[in-house]
Copies of this chain bind each other. A is one copy, B any other.
Amino acid sequence: MAERSPRLKDVAELANVSLSAASRILRGDDGRFGEETCRRVREASQKLGWRRNLLVSGMQTGKTSTIGVMIPPYDSFWVSVLTGIHAKCAEADYLPITVWLGDLDHMPLFDAPEEEGLRLINRMLDRRVEGFILWPPFGMAYSHHFPELRDHTVPVVMIDHHTDEPISDTVATNEEHATRLVARHLIDLRHKRIGFVSSPEAPSKTWAVERQNHFARAIESLSGGRLVVARVGPEGTDELVVVKKLLSGPDRPTAVFAATDHEAASVYRAAAELGLRVPNDLSVVGFADLDFASSMSPALTTVRQRPREIGARAATLLLERITKQASEGPYLDARVEADLVLRDSTAPAPDTLR
């Protein structure tokens, strides 16, 4: 019981070299050592099953090969982002520590006390994480601590979050291109009155604003048309009521683009309650291609983002900042493409059938 794991000293002794030689050789800094010596040391290490104590080397070199990831597994999009981060980190032999605050049930309307979040950040800094990847609401909530992190040369990458003045590297979907695909599709189907439904407003949802603006511009430039917007108000607003209002009246839109698949589901519900059939009376397009999108009925036409790629890019960016000490360059705004997936929720505008 309580078997001690082998020490570097043990390896050195077995290989008949000094501690420092063993240390250097096993770190790969073996340029100036005899081939034979290197072999002996490596064999001894293998044989004893020695593993570097990362706490020690981390303390001395600052390199813990660990990063902090504040992203909740909120839906399949974010789970895939996490998977991308994990995969990329594994390649680089880094370990991501993923933490989040609060309950999934209340996730989208996140506003945990800032204090708690700082406690989490500190818990990770105490373990000397070398950088952070943040979910928009966290990025938002803690952005005023970024300068402090930077002073400690702990870089930060945010996903899907932009501020007027850039304060970190960011990775996001190419909203301009993605929304243009949607606009083109709906216009090809001869829709003229097109609506946009977004989730409750929150300061962290800069992606929603961006999505709406780009979409509006695309509609305008492609058809000269104007968007009918239903931005669900501040938290607590009843989404269904707002959407039903948008879909009522003689000038109701014949097609609706939802900010995400979650809102698309609300649109389905509102349509059902109003007796509107999708897609015959109303075309619906979502965004994200979440796990449930293809099993909605009718199956949802939506923009398939590439969350794994987004996660991988974020990790890559962060690791570059960390390893190359490229902490100096200007902040980057990486964009990942997305594709339109045509399913059964879009059809030619009803007007054109009359």
Contacts and interface: CB of A to CB of B under 8 A. Distances in A.
A48 interface: no
A17 interface: no
Given A126-B52, A127-B55, A1 B95 contact: no
Nearest to A58: B55
B152 A2 contact: yes
A104 B79 contact: yes
A86 B51 CA distance: 28
Interface in A272-294: 292
A197 interface: no
Contact of A51 (B80, B122, B295): B122
A55 B97 contact: no
A151 interface: yes
A103 to B, nearest CB: 6
A82 interface: yes
Interface residues of A, number: 47
A123 B55 contact: no
A54 interface: yes
Interface in A78-116: 79-80, 82-83, 86, 90, 93, 95-100, 103-104
A12 to B, nearest CB: 19
Contacts of A124: 95
A53 interface: yes
A76 B104 contact: yes
Nearest to A93: B123
A3 interface: yes
A161 interface: no
A326 interface: no
B2 A126 contact: no
A5 interface: yes
A8 to B, nearest CB: 13
A83 B59 contact: no
A352 B59 CA distance: 73
A260 to B, nearest CB: 15
Contact of A64 (B55, B76, B103): B55
Contacts of A83: 103-104
A99 B126 CA distance: 20
Interface of A: 1-3, 5, 51-56, 58-59, 64, 66, 73, 76, 79-80, 82-83, 86, 90, 93, 95-100, 103-104, 119-120, 122-128, 150-153, 265, 292, 295
19 contacts: A1-B151, A3-B151, A5-B152, A51-B122, A53-B59, A54-B127, A54-B128, A55-B55, A55-B56, A55-B59, A55-B64, A56-B59, A73-B79, A83-B104, A90-B120, A95-B99, A95-B123, A98-B98, A292-B292
